[in-house]
Structure 1
Amino acid sequence: MIADLAKPIANYVEANSRLDVDGMLHAFSPDAVVQDDGGRHQGHPELRRWIEESIVASKAVFTPDAMRHEDGQVVVEGLTFGAFKGSPLRFTLRFTLEGDAIRALEISL
């Protein structure tokens, strides 16, 4: 893992490595928004469903290897390994932070 990731991002990545639904969800603010694969998910109930159906079901584990700050966001890149076609795939995750939580996350290839 990248040593200087902001705490909420590091918590999310660490929980993701264990496929820990509650740990991943805890990194987000209650009304956070995630945009992934054309879908938009907002608030903890929708984020829980997204985590269970998109991440845990396909055992998708993100391994960050690069980070930069861009337009007020923390942009993290890395490979995602899992039980899905084309694994591993390289993803870019754009985090917007608010306090000690993830306020928004946009995931793209």
Structure 2
Amino acid sequence: MTLPKVITNLINAQNSFDSIAYADCFSETAVVFDEGKTHNGKPEIQQWIDKANKKYMTVMKPLEYTENGTASILSAECSGIFPGSPIALKFHFKIVDGLIRYLKVTE
């Protein structure tokens, strides 16, 4: 499966629990929706993923990727320290100029 560089970078950052590298995959004004919460801008995204990494230790294994223009969906098996692990999640991205502008995580 061929993934855009920014998504490959995001997966690598997630799997190494590197919240700075993870946040660097996003534009300055990016928005993330996860677990019913909204995180706006790179600083909030970095704080969110750092807290999630410490709590859940989640690693991602890509399963399927589709894209339509700037919109794309990555299905991934996510495993870590949480009930129901592993779980398949969908990551809905909008990528603009090589950076993630929008991410929504769904089941």
Match 1:98 to one of 96, 99, 104: 96
- What value does the CA root-mean-square deviation take over the aligned residues? 1.3
The equivalent of 1:36 in structure 2 is 34
For each residue in 1:2-48, what CA deviation from the matched residue of structure 2 results, as whole angstroms up to 9, or x when unmatched?
3x111111110111111111111110111100000111101112101
Structure 2 unmatched ranges of 5 or more: none
| 1:55 to partner: Cα distance | 3.1
Q: TM-score, normalised by structure 1?
A: 0.91
Aligned partners of 2:99 and 2:93: how far apart in 1? 10
Structure 1 unmatched ranges of 5 or more: none
SS of the residue aligned with 2:84?
coil
SS of the residue aligned with 1:57?
helix
Change in 2 beyond 3 A, CA 1:34/1:11? same
Match 2:43 to one of 29, 42, 45: 45
Q: Does the aligned pair in 2 maintain the 1:21–1:56 contact within 8 Å?
A: no
Aligned partners of 2:95 and 2:69: how far apart in 1? 12
Aligned partners of 1:79 and 1:30: how far apart in 2? 28
Q: Among all aligned residue pairs of Structure 1 and Structure 2, give the percentage whose two residues are the same amino acid.
A: 28
Q: Does the aligned pair in 1 maintain the 2:39–2:45 contact within 8 Å?
A: yes
Q: Which amino acid aligns with 1:8?
A: V
Q: TM-score, normalised by structure 2?
A: 0.93
The equivalent of 1:20 in structure 2 is 18
* Runs of 4+ residues deviating >3 angstroms: none
Aligned partners of 1:104 and 1:56: how far apart in 2? 23
